[in-house]
Amino acid sequence: MAPRESQEDMTARIERERRAAQLQRESALEGSLEGFRVGSVPYLNAAPLTRGIEDQIQHVVPSKLAQMLQRDELDAALVSIVEVLFTGRYDLLDGIAIASLGEVYSVFLAHKKPIEQVDLVYCDPASLTSVHLLKVLLAERGLFPQFKPLPHLEGVNELDYVLLIGNPGIEFRRAPHTQEIFDLGAAWYELTKLPFVYAGWALQRNQKNEALRIQLREAKGFGMDTLDFLIDSRPEYDRAFRKDYLGWHIHYHLGADEKRGIQKFVEYLRKYSGREVFEPTYVY
């Protein structure tokens, strides 16, 4: 009879088996996007959705991703939700999103003067969804300021109202600044009591992309299962922040509540954007 395994040996064995399983999943994802053109954003919040496929996709800012998708240069892209809602030509991959329930931290209006006095907002030109979300939030308060592109990030501390997103927003918020912060995720939740979906996987419609959808779901599953590894190993900022941001501020599922949030956003866009807004089409 074999000797009983000690607790220490059992723990070591389980860890070896866990690492082996992760390596096997990572190996299976290598080259899995062959034949497909895929793009994502170069921000920390997208890392869990591209685990294992990072080297197979193009990383560009949201506004450029949208342009590439429109020019049929990509088969799928992790784009701003408004790109799906305003074009009506893409399917949205079900079950996966970049969303928040309350404070998102990385999408906000930095303001020196009171919100009620807003007349001009400078916007990070990379942003898409956040501009329209801010317009909705302000319009619901009876505020309709002008919006202008932010020419560069230098001198942001001197502006009365500036909209920032993604890693540049995180860096601004973590650094010394004089502005107050109007977090758009928190403001949306206060208004609707629903999650807000910032981005999702948009897929060119009427393409044979079942294999691509499977791999994108697998990458997300791998990212969620190894979230602690991402928190430990990513180079951005410090571990405590990564844990708070990826584990609390952001979530990655697209379920019934998130779809209700999208539908509510559709209603507000129809009310305030002056543009045609399409119903999202979900594919699994």
Per-residue model confidence (pLDDT) at position 2: 56
Is 252's pLDDT higher than 70? yes
Q: Smallest Cα–Cα separation from 107: which of 55, 173, 49, 19?
A: 173
Q: Smallest Cα–Cα separation from 91: which of 216, 196, 233?
A: 216
List, by residue range, all CATH 3.40.190.10 domains of the chain. Answer: 15-100+195-269+276-283, 107-192
Give the rounded percent of residues in the chain with a pLDDT score beyond 90: 79
Is the CB of residue 94 less than 8 Å from the CB of residue 283? yes
**Residue 89 burial class via C-beta count within 10 angstroms: exposed 0-12, middle 13-18, buried 19 and up:** middle
Q: Return the minimum-mean-pLDDT range out of 25-29, 174-178, 241-245, 264-268.
A: 25-29
15-100+195-269+276-283 folds as: D-Maltodextrin-Binding Protein; domain 2 (3.40.190)
Per-residue model confidence (pLDDT) at position 17: 54
pLDDT in tens, 211-230: 999 999 999 999 999 999 99
Q: What is the CATH number of domain 107-192?
A: 3.40.190.10
C-alpha 146: how far from its chain's center?
Answer: 25
| Cα dihedral across residues 269, 201, 168, 179: positive or negative | positive
**Polymer length in residues for the chain:** 284
pLDDT in tens, 113-155: 999 999 999 998 888 899 999 999 999 999 999 999 998 878 8
Is 1's pLDDT higher than 80? no
How high does pLDDT run on average in the chain? 91
Q: What is the mean pLDDT of residues 259-269?
A: 98
